[in-house]
């Protein structure tokens, strides 16, 4: 270890990055990402709103990504007068699972590290400075693309475990997954010599599944540690093209969990109904606030429509462009998506209802 660096620092970096990993998710989660991207790429109003932007700038909106929004929050949006959370470069790099921009104008990249983008065009210099500070190498010289920080693999692995195992337990508690299905899938994670037995003595079904979930997570962590150590040279060189979880002995069992989760949890009627609403809500909010911001930019506050003025002042000060910024269409659009993507589900729905007259503010 370099002087002044301790083993516990590695755990602190990974823990901080894990805590922040979903901070950029818009309302309605991954469906919200799709809703924002599809509005810009598949609607006449959305396409027109960004038609004058560069290819890289358009890609930020057409392929809207919560990971990139998270990087933006951590480095810029939180505490705007002293930008970001002032995290270390190592933490920000470990957080960035996909160290590239949205538009790859050169040759396509294969591998888990580049299947999505981790920062917007507006933030590429910021990530470039971070990469330089900690010694990450570029994957493609002509693109804003770097190899992963080694600890990003651990952050991804932690997310992968929770996404599979915890969601299965939640599906059981919500009665989308039967007791037998949950038991069988969790037990399939273990190799024959490591299957736990004490769960059979636990009184309640929920506690049985909770016990198996905890044991399964611990078992998977041990496998991932071994796999990380085995491939540490490739990881340090930025050459491991797969996620850690794909290379462990329980990978097949985890794929079966994902398959069942897609069928019985993520496609449950109440989930689909909420997701469908998300497309309408986020599209409606984007259309309303972007139209207002553009109207103000083109005509000025005094000559813009009364509706535009009202909507513009509903934007918190942080998300309004100043007079000096009004000529920058990319910045205007970014600030509106910053505002909308930072909402909670309930606030987005409430504001949409108020703007459309479905409901009125009370109190």
Give the Cα separation of 224 and 158 in Å (integer).
Answer: 9
Q: Please compute the mean of the pLDDT values over residues 276-289 and round it to a whole number.
A: 95
Same domain flag for 256 and 211: yes
Residue 46 lies in a domain: no
Give me 294's structure tokens.
């553009």
- What CATH number does residue 200 fall under? 1.10.3410.10
Residue 1 has pLDDT above 70, yes or no: no
Residue 336 maps to a domain: yes
Q: Do 180 and 258 lie in a common domain? A: yes
pLDDT tens across 40-98, in order? 999 999 999 999 999 999 999 999 999 999 999 999 998 877 788 999 999 999 999 99
Please check whether residue 134 is in contact with residue 178, taking contact to mean a CB–CB distance below 8 angstroms.
Answer: no
Question: Under 8 Å CB-to-CB from 243, ≥6 apart: which residues?
Answer: 112, 153, 156, 157, 160
Name the nearest CA neighbour of 71 among 89, 87, 95: 95
Compute and round to an integer the Cα radius of gyration of the chain: 23
Question: What pLDDT, on a 0 to 100 scale, did the predictor assign at position 357?
Answer: 85
Does residue 157 fall inside a structural domain? yes
pTM confidence score? 0.92
The answer as to whether 225 is a domain residue is: yes
Q: Are β-strands 145-146 and 138-140 bridged in parallel, bridged antiparallel, or unpaired?
A: antiparallel
- Give the position of tokens 């929050």: 73
Share of the chain above pLDDT 90, in %: 77
Domain that holds residue 87: 7-26+64-148
Give the mean model confidence (pLDDT) for residues 116-132. Answer: 95
Q: What is the DSSP string of 129-191?
A: HHHHHHTPPEEETTTTEEPPPHHHHHHHHHHHHIIIIIHHHHHHHTTSS-HHHHHHHHHTTS-
For residues 207 and 328, membership in a common domain is answered with no
Whether residue 239 is found in the same domain as residue 283: no
Compute the mean pLDDT over every residue in the chain, rounded to the nearest whole number. Answer: 92
For the segment 289-314, the average pLDDT, to the nearest whole number, is 93
User: Are 14 and 70 members of one domain?
Assistant: yes
pLDDT tens per residue across span 197-243 = 899 999 999 999 999 999 999 999 999 999 999 999 999 988 899 99
- Whether 260 and 278 share a structural domain: no
- CATH number of the structural domain spanning residue 143: 1.10.3210.10
Of 181, 187, 244, the C-alpha closest to 219 is 187
Tell me whether residue 282 is in a domain: yes
pLDDT tier at 107, thresholds 50, 70, 90: low
The answer on 186 and 217 residing in a single domain is: yes
Question: What pLDDT sits at residue 136?
Answer: 93
Last residue of a domain, one of 97, 114, 148: 148
Residue 260 shares a structural domain with residue 189: yes
Mean pLDDT in residue range 261-275? 89
Q: Which of 128, 148, 168 is the endpoint of a domain?
A: 148
158 and 210 in a single domain? The answer is yes
Same domain membership, residue 171 and residue 252: yes
Of 161, 330, 135, residue with least CA distance to 258: 161
Asked, for residue 256, whether it belongs to a domain, the answer is yes
- Shared-domain flag, residues 20 and 99: yes
State the total domains in the chain: 3
Q: Supply the pLDDT for residue 165.
A: 95
């Amino acid at each position: 270890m370099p002087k002044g660096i301790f083993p516990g620092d590695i755990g602190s970096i990974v823990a901080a990055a894990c805590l922040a990993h979903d901070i950029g998710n818009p309302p309605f989660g991954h469906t919200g990402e799709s809703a924002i991207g599809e509005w810009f790429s598949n609607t006449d109003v959305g396409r027109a709103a960004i038609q004058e932007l560069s290819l890289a700038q358009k890609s930020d909106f057409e392929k809207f990504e919560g990971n990139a929004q998270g990087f933006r929050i951590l480095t810029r949006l939180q505490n705007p007068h002293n930008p970001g959370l002032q995290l270390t470069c190592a933490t920000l790099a470990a957080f960035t699972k996909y160290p590239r921009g949205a538009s790859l104008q050169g040759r396509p990249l294969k591998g888990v590290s580049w299947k999505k983008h981790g920062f917007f065009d507006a933030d590429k210099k910021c990530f470039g400075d971070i990469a330089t500070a900690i010694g990450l190498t570029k994957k493609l010289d002509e693109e804003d693309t770097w190899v992963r920080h080694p600890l990003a693999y651990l952050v991804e692995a932690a997310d992968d475990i929770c996404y599979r195992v915890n969601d299965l337990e939640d599906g059981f508690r919500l009665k989308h997954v039967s007791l037998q299905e949950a038991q069988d899938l969790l037990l399939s994670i273990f190799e024959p010599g490591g299957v736990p037995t004490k769960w059979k003595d636990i009184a309640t079904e929920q506690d049985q599944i909770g016990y198996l979930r905890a044991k399964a997570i611990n078992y998977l962590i041990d496998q991932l540690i071994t796999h990380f150590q085995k491939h540490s040279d490739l990881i340090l060189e930025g050459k491991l093209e797969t996620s850690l979880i794909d290379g462990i002995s329980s990978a097949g069992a985890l794929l079966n969990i994902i398959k069942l989760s897609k069928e019985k949890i993520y496609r449950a009627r109440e989930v689909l109904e909420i997701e469908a609403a998300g497309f309408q809500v986020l599209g409606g909010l984007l259309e309303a606030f972007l139209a207002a911001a553009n109207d103000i930019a083109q005509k000025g506050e005094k000559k813009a429509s009364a509706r535009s003025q009202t909507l513009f002042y509903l934007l918190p000060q942080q998300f309004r462009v100043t007079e000096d910024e009004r000529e920058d269409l990319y910045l205007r659009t970014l600030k509106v998506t910053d505002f909308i993507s930072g909402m909670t589900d309930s606030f987005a729905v409430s504001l949409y209802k108020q703007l459309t007259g479905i409901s009125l503010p009370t109190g």
